[in-house]
Structure 1
Amino acid sequence: MKKEVHPEYWDRDARKLIQRENYAGQALSWMYSSPIGKLFLYGYFATRLHSWVYRQYKRSPLTKNQALQDIEKYQIDLNEFDIEESDIGSYRDFFLRKFNQGARPFNDDKDTFSAFAEGFYLGYKNTHEDIRFPVKGGYLSAEQILENDEISKRFMGGPVLVCRLSPIDYHWFHFPFDGQLTDAYHRKGKVHAVNLVALRHKQDIFCTNERQVNLLYSEDFGHLAYVEVGAMGVGRIHQTFNAPSFQRGQEKGYFDFGASTIIVFGEKGRWEPSADIIEHTANERETKVKLGQAVAHRSRN
């Protein structure tokens, strides 16, 4: 079987293109492309039962060595986090690690929109039918993902940011600026993988998976829809924030357990994604961005 790899992505800090092995790529390719694989996918792996079983397994001491192996394989520097190797008793201990105070400072420029998660970003000035990466434009529209005609009208023709997290990434998500949480609702759905392999085979994952939609308001960036998308193995999306107002960099919640995605929709003309993210998205590449770095700025017109 041909080895599945990520397309090249741009590492903003290293300032170079990187290609790496796709996490669980071969297994996902089999499940999403073969008739037998699809039986397993729809019969078990894309169900809540699998997410629950997987989450319980990752809490087990049997997974401690898996965590230690991934730390070594992916060269994760534990000095940046609030956990030491001796503290890891299961994979979940490693998965829910937090950054040490000051390890990821948030950009405090009022004209910039800070990275709300650490992961692989895509950015669009607006969605349209010509978009093909990672999914067709119709599957990345506010209408499809928000499933609310009245709310989605606010974001027609507006900018979009997508941040995908792999299972080895930091899985807490944050607020990108100061503002208010004005409303929230939940959309039930499937729990398909959000890996690029899965997205190539099943284009509608972002609008059919479970989603938690949060409506935000900022004086600097206007109204936004902040959407947390569940995924294979993500049994729960936890919200740790419960106040009406928030500050830039404040913790909002976390995914438990597995790869996941956050999509942010904005109003037309209020802001646009950073130039490097737009450039690499146009070239069908994601941009690896650290938590707190600038990922968008207020429109200047």
Structure 2
Amino acid sequence: MYEWQSGVNNGLDCIEKFSWLNYENDYGMVFLTCGPGLKMTADFTNLQGMQMDSPESKKLIKKWVEELGPKRMADYEIEDWPNFNEFFVRKLKKGARPIDAQDDKSVVVAPADCVINMVVDELTETTPIPVKTVSMNVRQLLDNSEYAERFIGGTAVSCILMPDSYHWYHAPVAGEVVEARDDIGGVYYGMRDFPELLNKGNVGYGYDYEMFDHFRRGYVIIRTEYLDPSGKRDGEGYVGLVPVGLNSIASVNFLDKFQPPLRERVTVEKGEKIGNFKYGGSLNILLFEHDRFPALQLLQGQRIGVLEDPLRTTGLFTRSYHTQSRRLRPLAP
């Protein structure tokens, strides 16, 4: 029997091993996404969540703190966390993540500590049509929200959180939240090609994000102002933030301020906390209107990455960029 252990540097090992059940295996995929298999993985996820909420889970905290090391833990407020899940959603120290261009409404900021990839630049309304090797059904992703049509022909950006990352997500722009959902049901396991998501070091690059509209998720739609080249107001538009719970989590937890159903629009500042994910892997998908977010753009001196400890690279990213895709290899047990 394989022992499922929770550690910083092996955070994705067990999920990756479990994914072989449905890797290029239609029967395995059916088992995980409907009927008894879906119920089993739902029960497992709920039970694991209860375990991570229990006082007994505190023993994991010391292990994670030691593996994260003093340099990374220096970003966080140190508390007597009552259980592992409260440690997992630990709070940053004030000033640890300064918000860039706080007063410039045209500047979009990262919603979380994450690996970022442009997903697609021509979102489709209904049928997923491949664009640049990836596809996404934006109407299904937003569960037929009336705002889905705003993003037809627009851009999606994936923001993938690693298991050892800060697990709160924040508003990427300032404005008003006009709609929020945190209750969209979906599957818990059954990513078609989880190993490929981790492959090549650049997590999620070139991945087919179509499947994420089938996972447990929520969303917020933010009405924001557009500015012209002189910095003056030039109309308004919308940005979507879609938190997706994957594998060993299904929690999409919003702060009370953003809990649906919203009775009126809720003001949100750029960088303001919206919610968190508890233990497991997860991602945010940002949605932008047509021609409003053409590319990821950085200013000189801004962070673009980290020179990693090899232990973290091996545990979380698994392969160098030049490694041949696993899709071309035989299945392994």
TM-score when normalising by structure 2: 0.65
- Superposed displacement of residue 108, structure 1: 1.8
User: What per-residue deviation string (whole Å, max 9, x for no partner) do you get for residues 1-38 of structure 1?
Assistant: xxxxxxxxxxxxxxxxxxx8772254234333379976
Instruction: Name the CA distance, whole Å, in 2 between partners of 1:263 and 1:176.
Output: 11
Any gaps of 5 or more consecutive residues in structure 2? Answer: 1-8, 123-128, 199-206, 227-235, 259-264, 299-303, 307-333
Note if contact 2:186-2:214 (Cα within 8 Å) is conserved in structure 1. yes
Alpha-carbon distance in 2 for matches of 1:202, 1:159: 15
Shift of 1:233: 2.6
Name the structure 1 match of 2:248. Answer: 233
Aligned residues: 253
Matched with 1:3 is none
Match of 2:286 among 242, 255, 264: 264
> Which is further off, 189-198 or 219-228?
189-198
Find 1:30's aligned residue among 8, 20, 23: 20
1:204/1:28 CA distance change after superposition, 3 Å: farther
Shift of 1:196: 4.1
1:190/1:198 CA distance change after superposition, 3 Å: farther
Deviation at 1:112, TM superposition (A): 1.3
Give the secondary structure class of the aligned counterpart of 1:122.
strand
1:126 correspondence with 2:141: no
Shift of 1:224: 1.7
Q: Quick one: structure 1 residues 39 and 148, their matched pair in 2 at CA, closer, same or farther if it must change by over 3 Å?
A: closer
> Separation in 2 of the partners of 1:272 and 1:125?
10
Corresponding residue for 1:218? 224
Per-residue deviation, residues 242-280 of structure 1 (Å, max 9, x unmatched): 36111111111111232111111111122334147xxxx
Moved more, 30-39 or 183-192: 30-39
Provide the TM-score with structure 1 as the length reference: 0.71
1:153 lines up with 2:153 in the alignment: no
Determine if the alignment matches structure 1 residue 205 to structure 2 residue 199.
no
SS at match of 2:141: helix
Deviation string, structure 1 residues 26-57 (Cα, Å, up to 9, x no partner): 42343333799769855268733122100111
Structure 2 residue identity aligned to 1:104? R
SS for the counterpart of 1:68 is helix
Go from structure 1 to structure 2 and tell me whether the alpha carbon gap of 1:173 and 1:61 turns closer, same or farther (over 3 Å shift): same
| Percent of aligned positions that are identical | 24
Name which one, 1 or 2, has greater alpha-carbon Rg.
2
C-alpha distance after superposition, 1:216-240 (max 9, x if no partner) = 1100372122111122232421111
Q: CA deviation at 1:80?
A: 1.1
Q: Secondary structure at the match of 1:262?
A: strand
Greater strand fraction, Structure 1 or Structure 2: 1
Q: Which residue of 1 aligns with 2:325?
A: none
Pairing 1:1-301 to 2, within 5 Å after superposition:
23-24=12-13, 26-33=16-23, 41=32, 43=37, 47-75=41-69, 77-83=72-78, 87-88=80-81, 90-108=83-101, 110=104, 111-124=106-119, 126-127=121-122, 129-132=130-133, 136-137=134-135, 140-148=136-144, 150-185=146-181, 186-192=183-189, 196-197=194-195, 204-220=210-226, 222-240=237-255, 241-242=257-258, 244-275=266-297
Residue aligned with 1:154, SS: helix
Tell me the amino acid that sits aligned with residue 252 of structure 1.
I
**Shift of residue 101 of structure 1?**
0.5
Question: Residues 83 and 196 from structure 1, CA distance in 2 versus in 1: closer, same or farther, beyond 3 angstroms?
Answer: farther
Query: Does the C-alpha gap of structure 1 residues 31 and 68 become closer, same or farther in structure 2, counting only changes over 3 Å?
Result: farther
Structure 1 residue 89 displacement after superposition: 5.1
Q: In structure 2, how many angstroms separate the alpha carbons of the residues matched to 1:212 and 1:245?
A: 19
**Secondary structure, counterpart of 1:31 in structure 2:** coil
Q: In structure 2, what is the Cα distance between the partners aligned to 1:88 and 1:219?
A: 39
Aligned partners of 1:215 and 1:226 also within 8 Å: yes
Q: Note the aligned Cα RMSD (angstroms).
A: 3.3
